[in-house]
A and B are shown apart, each in its own frame.
Chain A
Amino acid sequence: MTKALTVSGLSRRYGAVRAVDKIGFEIAAGEIFGLLGPNGAGKTTAIECVLGLVRPDAGSIHVCGIDALARPQDARARIGAVLQATGLPDKITPREALDVFGAFYPHPLQTDALLDRFGLREKQGLAYDTLSGGQKQRLALALAFVGDPQLLVLDEPATGLDVQMRRELHDHIREVRAAGCAVLLATHGMEEAAQLCDRIAVIAGGRIVATGTPTELIAGSGGSLEDVILKLTGAAQ
């Protein structure tokens, strides 16, 4: 069966720094795969390569069987993403954003359904710069879903969210998994990873130092998942 995402031998340098170094992993449909590691470990670079924001120096990336380096537009049509450090025009409304972004996809989800699903119905006509941080994050999620993706890529999606919003976010991610969508989740939140991820790759110094289910990682090293990560990433660095 075709994997939702296959990454193989991926490398990317910035000058003398190897941001990612020959990493590889696969994600199946309906699987949540976590990239876990400290700041600067290479998670964001790996994700930017998957999304085509950064061209890797070596390696291959296939999204639902499509070579993402050769056919980036086709690959992106199957991906929804929430990244750090992205924004929207100040005066755009949630409804307008969903309508316009949806126009880029072959089979977009209905704007009204997304507004209801992400609790934005009451805010649909307000300018983006008047939304709260949580509402902006909901809109970012709704936009990630607008193309009915087969692969959802989330880079630190819970950053800045309060407890309730974080819980809502996790519910949405689980719903996605239940619907058969694959999820690539980059986080340094141990608890979040343990709760959500089916499998985790621990990344440190640009390399994957361990892969497994949360249970396997804990069983292999002993202690909590946090202990495991600290031990693995400390050893790698």
Chain B
Amino acid sequence: MTALLQLTLLGLKLNFRNRMAILYGYLFPLIFLVAFWAVYRSDPVPLALHLGQFLTITILGSACFGLPTTIVSERERGVWRRYRLLPARGWVFLTSVLLARAVLLVTAALLQLALAFAFGMPAPAHPLELLAAFAVASFAFLGFGLVIAMLVDNVPAVLALGQCIFLPMLMIGGVAVQLESLPAWAQHLSLFFPGRYAVEVLQLSATGAGLSRAGFDFAALLLTGAAGAIAAGAMFRWDKAFAPRRAWLLLAIGMWAAVGVAAEMRGLASISAVKDTREVGSVRDYAPAPPNAKAAPISWQDVTQADIDGIDFKRLPPDEGIISPLSRGDESPDPVIVPALDRIRDGLAGWSPGNVSDPVQRARNLLAVAAVPDIMQMEQVERFVPRLVFARLQAVIPPRELPKILYWIAMHPDEGDDRAMHQLSAFGLPDITGPTRPVRGRVMLYAFKLLGRLAGPLPNN
């Protein structure tokens, strides 16, 4: 164990003495991150919806290039032949390389996340699950990185083979180019690349319902990683003078194919939920000022039914859409997300921002709980949380006051305190760390929608 530890520490030291390794290991992931930030600069919340992508690219780069380059270059120079003279089995040396690589990967990812936070990306909704997702994605790709290392004889061959895997995974595997942007044939093809599953598990851990929604993706990564590790173990060679047992390559590639076929059979290819991060519009889009309008109310207490009648509820985004979705009253959530919804329901009662004395701020804070899952496009969850918030609003604000307050919030989305948006981790929701304007926009929409249900124009079924 001491030898394994010392060898691992040595591997880390040697990596940090290699300028090219630092460049590839740390600088490139940051460059990719900046590129994502620049390309998706119009997103309402910076980078949050692309965390799965940029972390997967980091892992892929390390697996396709960093890991096999280290092993192959050392084997070419006879280092592994020298290691073989030591009284230890091959797995000790492979494990030390993998451990060192894992440390490098984790530090590179942390650096990426730190920069992403600086750009305004919110904290992940499920940090521990994100760690588990990162671990399984790393396992999947490093397993295959080992296969590359065992297969080829020299560093140029690593780069060539690595590119053959890296680039297709980025372009048509759902890693760099989002699946929604791909043609149908590429969406089908992407099922045969594990990169898609890595993006999914990471993204669901960051802004989705967590790994409970990613059972297939998680299993797919575990299986591809295990197949890669077994194949690499069987193909292991100390010396390039010995040919690898190439037949084992079929196991690694075959597992990619098997996972793809299973995904096809489950109908996972098509991506129907097109992401839409459009601006939600302004108050005047939904409540146009009538001609000869009377003076606007100067406080929420002055709001009248006539003011509410002036709202054109038909202009609001549809409840089944992507912006401000809302479940039907009689609709049951998928059992998988029930625990997440229970946690939010249970947490609302004791959540201090939801109990502040000012009723307008109280309602504004509670509406933020509905708005954030929508902004984060938290699959399924985002449609049901507004219902929970609606129930809570009705419980903590008198019925006579609630329509007036909702009207006031809808008509004044830029007022009030937004600190509550940074206190959502109690619900398992991501805290908003960047600009809050997009969330305020969704608060406005939900205020209109809930008001429409209270006032009658919208069905509350």
A79→B14 CA distance, assembly (Å): 27
Q: Cα distance A53–B18 when bound, in Å?
A: 30
Q: Is the CB of B85 within 8 A of A91?
A: no
What's the minimum C-beta distance from A220 to chain B, rounded to whole angstroms?
A: 35
B367 to chain A, nearest CB (A): 57
Q: How large is the interface on A (under 10, 10 to 19, 20 to 34, 35 or more residues)?
A: 20 to 34
Contact for B82 among A74, A88, A103, A127, CB less than 8 A: A88
By the criterion CB–CB under 8 Å, are A76 and B13 in contact?
Answer: no
B213 lies within 8 A of chain A by Cβ? no
> Of A79, A99, A100, which contacts B85 at CB under 8 A?
A79
Q: Is the CB of B87 within 8 A of A73?
A: yes
Max count, chain A CB within 10 A of own CB: residue among B6, B7, B18: B6
Does B87 lie within 8 Å of A83, measured CB to CB? no
Majority secondary structure of chain A interface residues (helix, strand, loop or mixed):
loop
B89 nearest in chain A by CB position = A73
- A74–B18 Cα distance when bound, in Å, is 35
Q: Please, how many angstroms separate the alpha-carbon atoms of A205 and B192 in the complex?
A: 53
Q: Which of A53, A77, A79, A87 contacts B77 (CB 8 A)?
A: A87
Min Cβ gap A143→B in Å is 8
Quick check: is A96 within 8 A (CB to CB) of the other chain? yes
Residue A194 is within 8 A (CB to CB) of chain B in the complex: no
A81 in the interface (beta carbon within 8 A): yes
Docked complex Cα distance between A51 and B83 (Å): 12
Contact of A103 among B2, B14, B239 (CB under 8 A): B2
- B310 on the A face (CB < 8 A): no
B7 touching A73, Cβ below 8 Å: no
Q: Is B74 an interface residue (CB 8 A)?
A: yes
Mark interface residues in B407-435 (1 if CB within 8 Å of A CB, else 0): 00000000000000000000000000000
Q: Does B315 sit at the interface, judged by CB under 8 A?
A: no
Contact with B along A89-104 (1 / 0, CB 8 A): 1111000100111011
| Interface residue A164 (Cβ < 8 Å from any Cβ of B) | no
The interface residues of chain B lying within 8 Å CB-to-CB of A77 are: 87
- Chain A proximity mask over B4-24: 1 for CB below 8 Å, otherwise 0: 001100100110011000000
Whether the pair A104, B88 counts as a contact (CB closer than 8 A) is yes
B391 interface residue per 8 A CB criterion: no
Contact of B78 among A76, A86, A143 (CB under 8 A): A86
Report the minimum CB–CB distance from B24 to chain A (whole Å).
16
Interface flag for A30 (CB, 8 Å): no
A86 & B6 in contact (Cβ 8 Å cutoff): no
Q: Could you tell me the distance between the alpha carbons of A89 and B93 in the complex, rounded to whole angstroms? A: 14
Answer yes or no: B3 CB below 8 A from chain A CBs. yes
The answer to whether B84 touches A53, judged by C-beta atoms less than 8 angstroms apart, is: yes
> Whole-angstrom distance between the alpha carbons of A146 and B411 in the complex?
79
Interface contact A76-B81, CB-CB below 8 Å: no
Closest chain B residue, CB of each to CB of A72: B87
A85 in the interface, Cβ–Cβ < 8 Å? yes
> Per-residue 0/1 for B272-283: is the Cβ within 8 Å of any A Cβ (1 yes, 0 no)?
000000000000
Q: How far is the CA of A140 from the CA of B85 in the complex (A)?
A: 12
A147 to B85, alpha carbons, bound, how many Å? Answer: 11
The residue on A at minimum CB distance from B92 is: A104
Give Cα A159–Cα B81 distance, bound, in whole angstroms.
18
Q: Which of A74, A89, A92 contacts B87 (CB 8 A)?
A: A74
Q: Does A105 contact B (CB under 8 A)?
A: yes
Chain B contacts for A105, CB-based, 8 A: 87
Given contacts A89-B14, A91-B17, A96-B13, contact A83 B6 (CB under 8 A): no
Give complex CA distance A85, B77 in Å: 8
A61 to B4 CA separation, bound complex (whole angstroms): 28
The reply to whether B86 and A76 contact each other, CB–CB distance below 8 Å, is yes
Q: Is the CB of B81 within 8 A of A101?
A: no
B79 — which chain A residues lie within 8 A by C-beta?
86-89
B87 touches A104 (CB 8 A): yes
Is B134 on the interface with A (CB-CB < 8 A)?
Answer: no
Known pairs A73-B89, A86-B81. 12 more at Cβ < 8 A? A53-B238, A76-B86, A77-B87, A83-B82, A86-B79, A87-B77, A89-B14, A96-B10, A96-B13, A100-B6, A101-B86, A103-B3
Give chain A's interface residues, CB within 8 Å of chain B.
51-53, 73-74, 76-77, 79, 81, 83, 85-92, 96, 99-101, 103-105, 127, 143, 147
